[in-house]
């Protein structure tokens, strides 16, 4: 998600402070994706306006897609 002082931040849901800060969205997303895989959590990628632009689950999905 965007950082208030510029750049992009990686932040766990519910935390007030960012765990990482990056100059570009791509760098922040790369860091966040690695953390999400290691912790088996869902990654939510935000747009500049703060809305969720996409998500990716790396955890145990209780409702996996059929087929």
> Cα(32)–Cα(25) distance, rounded to whole angstroms?
10
Per-residue pLDDT tens, the chain, 67 aa: give them.
Answer: 999 999 999 998 889 999 999 999 999 999 999 999 999 999 999 999 989 999 988 776 666 667 6
Give the contacts of 22 (CB within 8 A, at least 6 positions apart).
7, 8, 9, 10, 28, 31
Q: Are 45 and 29 in contact (CB under 8 A)?
A: yes
Nearest CA to 36 out of 52, 16, 13 is that of 13
Is the entire prediction scored with pTM above 0.85? no
Q: What is the pLDDT of residue 61?
A: 64
Q: What is the pLDDT of residue 65?
A: 67
> Cα(49)–Cα(61) distance, rounded to whole angstroms?
28
Q: What is the pLDDT of residue 30?
A: 96
């Amino acid at each position: 998600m965007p950082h208030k002082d510029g750049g992009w931040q990686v932040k766990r849901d519910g935390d007030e402070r960012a765990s990482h800060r990056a100059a570009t969205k791509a760098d922040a997303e790369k860091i966040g994706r690695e953390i999400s895989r290691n912790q088996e959590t869902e990654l939510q990628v935000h747009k500049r306006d703060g809305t969720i632009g996409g998500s990716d689950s790396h955890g145990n999905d209780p409702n996996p897609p059929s087929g």
